[in-house]
Amino acid sequence: MRQVISLYLLLLFVSAGIHPANAQVPSSGETIEPEFAVTAVPDKWSKESAVVIGQKTEYIFTRLAAGKRYTTVVRIQEYVHKRIKIQDKNAQEAFSTFYYVTMGKDGKAEYQIIKAGGKRVDIDMKNAIEEEKGIPAIYKPIYYRLGIKYFKIAIPDLEVGDIIDYNLRSTIDWDMRENGIGFTPFIFSLANNYSTMYQQYRFVMANGMKVKFRAFNGASNLKMDTKASVFGDKESYVAYYMLDRDREKTTEERWSYELRNTPSVKFRVIMLADNDPDSKALGMATVDRTFIDLDDVYKRFVGAALYRTTTVNTLVAYATEYLAKKKADGLLKNDDDIIRECYYCLRKVFLEMYYKGPVHSDLEKYMTGKKLYKKILKQQEKDEQKKEEREDEIRINSVVFATSLRTALAAQNIQSELYVYMPRTLGTWRDAVFLEELDFVMKVKSKRKSYFLEAFNNFDAFGSPYTYLEGSEGYSIGYDEPNKYYKTPGPLSTYQENISHKDYNVSFIDAMDDINIERTSVLTGHEKTDMIGIANLDRDYLKKDFEKYYNPPGQKGKRKKEDEVIDIASSTGYDNPDKEEKLKQRKELMEKDIKNEFDLEKYGEFELLNDGRYGDTATLKYKETFSLKKLLSRAGKNYIFDAGKLIGDQIKLEEKELQGRQTDIWLSNARTIENNITINVPAGYSVEGAQDLNMSVDNESGSFTSTAKTEGDKLVINTRKIYKKNFDKKELWPNYVAFLEAAYKFSQSKIVLKKK
């Protein structure tokens, strides 16, 4: 998801005339707690695969000084110490590779194995190699910032009963002139995949710093450690910590938001400016547990739809001119028509600017869109004439979009608002602690409904749903009067809006070893998100955009500098020189998608029937032909056909999932999955077992229904699986078990093609 652009410049500072501290600067990892000397685990966890004996994470924030003056650099030291006991073969295998993450230039790790007899074996970390893939949860840090590197190393001769003991040290320098005075927030869960005997999180800060802290879902509170704090005449260091003991492991469950379901913490260090009144009387760091301030939210975000640039002027000028012509022709009947056509016209102009250019300045390059013309300045400096690299999917900058849409609609006497929301993965609005947690989209009201409009990419259609907006909470900021904001619920799509519908026509080749399939896919709402970019990879949609929203060049007259626009070489076509290469790439990607579901013998043809970028339902529709293997097996004169597998992979619940659930159920959105399968029965054969394909499970959370019937020489199978909600309490998990198990059972169903 796109980043929130800061709308104001931070006034950074250099402290004047402050002498270095008379207090000793603390060092990370100075103290090793007695808990780390333990080798035995509680009897109740003796059957666990592994147990975390102790883990400590410590951060120290200090200001660097040059002579008698402080610089604008804050040094952040990170120290992580963990001790884990290996108790079975699964853990032995899981921990046979050690992963770790460092920050800055001097990050390092130390690793030791403590054998059952007490012997200690040090691992030479010089053999560690950089790792590009993700790392297991047990190794993930709670803080990511600047110079992140991932490593892994094989651990030899690890045995059941061994204790692994490792620590990590990193140092990063945070320059407040570039990065601001609010350091990256810590947002993390206290839950572990392994039972944990002892864990501590410690933060040490110099005076002149403030802490915002909130604990959720029963997490430990932050406490001041007076014994570990250092007080000096000129400077002090104050230690805060959280302790957590005897925590049972948390089982990873599907459809779970960790920060909503487990004990979690949000924590941030803020450096107070030297001219801040609070810092004058501040002898030591303090903890702020206040909620987010609505006035601060308003001040931070109101400018998101007021940021005029040459790019914005261009988008608005072309859209306004286009809408005026359509109004004159009587083609825009109501506000809904105007809002929709304004959105699509802005999208067309942006894509034309992107693909035909140029954007003339570094500022415009940045403000136009994601990674737009990322090398153009260097190319100009070197006087190179190489073609600029393009992306197959680009997204307009959120601030440019918000300002352009608001301004263009205001010219049509339609007011729009900025909707600032809390992503549901992070919590409710009351859970918001930092402005950086919030994001925004535009909200436009017509007489019929309210539209929530995200900064578009190539493929977004008007009014498309977005998973991160589903059921969100937030505030609307109005622009028709100052200081206007009010609480607003986010949009919530239904299972009737998010549909995956697939029609199969199945036939058998003469040898009866493979099957040929013609499949038509119809996708709406969230269901088309993963496929729409691939389906439109050839960029033929640009021809349609440029023709439909063509705006003939006109005499726009001289403009003031602040109203300047970019002269676009507008046309009704798009030169697509690499189309053949794109078509080849699309076919390869579609083939890969089918291989993820079936044993593919051969991929045939692809035909795009509807690009999914226009209209009220914005349906993506395409047709494919391919052949599959391993669905038929011979049984004497007859054949067994795995017909159920044609609906694709279904969720197979593990035994522990059948028994219950620990956390509430957070799905991305409600949805419907439909499959209509027509099987052309080979001549000389009849069908047996079709009656076993009839199923029906329906409850308040979801449903799975299937029917099968013979129509002449065809067997027609229809299935429908519905997720009715995007959230349920854990007590309703049996509802999900019921329809998920029915769907999986169907996917394992077979029919017999019996020789007559």
Q: Do 634 and 741 sit in the same domain of this protein?
A: yes
Q: What is the pLDDT of residue 557?
A: 46
Decide: 454 and 460 in contact? Cβ < 8 Å: yes
In a domain? residue 581:
no
Mean pLDDT of the chain: 86
Residue 439 lies in a domain: yes
Whether 519 and 465 share a structural domain = no
Q: What is the mean pLDDT of residues 655-675?
A: 94
Same domain, 356 and 246: no
Q: Is the per-residue pLDDT at 725 higher than 70?
A: yes
For residue 512, the model assigns a pLDDT of 85
Q: Are residues 315 and 243 in the same domain?
A: no
561: in domain: no
Burial (Cβ within 10 Å: 0-12, 13-18, ≥19) of residue 228: middle
Indicate whether 401 belongs to any domain. yes
Q: Which domain holds residue 643?
A: 499-525+599-755
Indicate whether 106 and 241 sit together in one domain: yes
Residues 517 and 426 in one domain: no
Q: Residue 16's pLDDT band (boundaries 50, 70, 90)? A: very low
Residue 69, pLDDT score: 78
Paired strand residues for 16:
none
User: Domain check: are 381 and 509 in the same one?
Assistant: no
Q: Give yes or no for a contact between 667 and 255, defined as CB atoms under 8 angstroms apart.
A: yes
Is the pTM above the cut of 0.75?
yes
pLDDT confidence of residue 274: 52
- pLDDT score recorded for residue 379: 38
Which residue do the tokens 């261009």 mark? 314
Using DSSP, state whether 44 is helix, strand or coil.
Answer: helix
270 within a domain of the structure (yes/no):
no
In which band, very low, low, confident or very high, does the pLDDT at 548 lie, cut at 50, 70 and 90?
confident
Are residue 669 and residue 740 in the same domain, yes or no? yes
9 belongs to a structural domain: no
The pLDDT assigned to 413 comes to 95
Q: How many domains does the chain have?
A: 3
Looking at residue 561, its pLDDT comes to: 55
670 half-sphere exposure, CB direction, 13 A CA radius: 17
pLDDT tens string 409-461:
999 999 999 999 999 999 999 999 999 899 999 999 998 899 999 999 889 99
659 and 718 inside one domain: yes
Residue 707's pLDDT band (boundaries 50, 70, 90)? very high
Question: How many alpha carbons lie under 13 Å from residue 184 in its C-beta half-sphere?
Answer: 13
Residue 201 lies in a domain: yes
Element at 301 (helix H, strand E): helix 294-301
204 with 61: CB under 8 angstroms? yes
Confidence of residue 2 (pLDDT cuts 50, 70, 90): very low
- Could you tell me if 598 and 504 are in contact, meaning their C-beta atoms sit under 8 angstroms apart? no
701: confidence class by pLDDT, cuts 50, 70, 90? very high
Mean pLDDT, rounded, for 201-229? 87
Q: What is the CATH number of the domain that holds 104?
A: 2.60.40
pLDDT at 588 over 90: yes
Q: Tell me, yes or no, whether 458 lies in a domain.
A: yes
Three-state SS letters, 407-447: HHHHCCCCCEEEEEEECCCCCCHHHCCCHHHCEEEEEEECC
The two three-digit tokens of residue 429, written as one number: 């609005």
Q: What is the pLDDT of residue 515?
A: 94
Assess whether pLDDT exceeds 70 at residue 374.
no
Strand pairing report for 50-66 and 195-206: parallel
pLDDT digits (tens, 9 = 90+) for 557-576: 455 556 677 766 677 778 88
Q: What pLDDT score was predicted for residue 24?
A: 66
Q: What is the pLDDT of residue 724?
A: 98
| Integer angstrom CA distances of residue 596 from 564, 593, 648 | 50, 5, 9
**Whole-number percent of the chain with pLDDT over 90:** 60
Confidence of residue 90 (pLDDT cuts 50, 70, 90): very high
**HSE of 148 in the Cβ direction (CA atoms, 13 Å)?**
12
Looking at the structure, tell me whether residues 367 and 241 fall in a common domain: no
75 and 201 in a common domain: yes
Indicate if 441 and 368 belong to the same structural domain. yes
In this predicted structure, what is the pLDDT of residue 639?
Answer: 94
CB-based contact 488:498 (threshold 8 Å): no
Q: Which among 467, 489, 511 is the end of a domain?
A: 489
Residue 709's SS3 state is strand
CATH label of the domain that carries residue 613: 2.60.120.1130
According to DSSP, residue 291 is labeled: P
| pLDDT on residue 507 | 95
Q: Enter the tokens of residue 169.
A: 């040290």
Beta-carbon count within 10 A of 291 CB: 11
Query: How confident is the model over 277-313, as pLDDT tens digits?
Result: 454 444 455 677 778 899 999 999 999 999 888 888 8
Tokens of 214: 């909130």
pLDDT at 91 over 70: yes
Query: Higher pLDDT residue, 256 or 360?
Result: 256
User: Closest Cα to residue 417, out of 455, 452, 370?
Assistant: 452
pLDDT > 70: percent of the chain: 88
The predicted-structure confidence for 471-488, as pLDDT tens digits, reads as follows 899 999 999 999 999 999
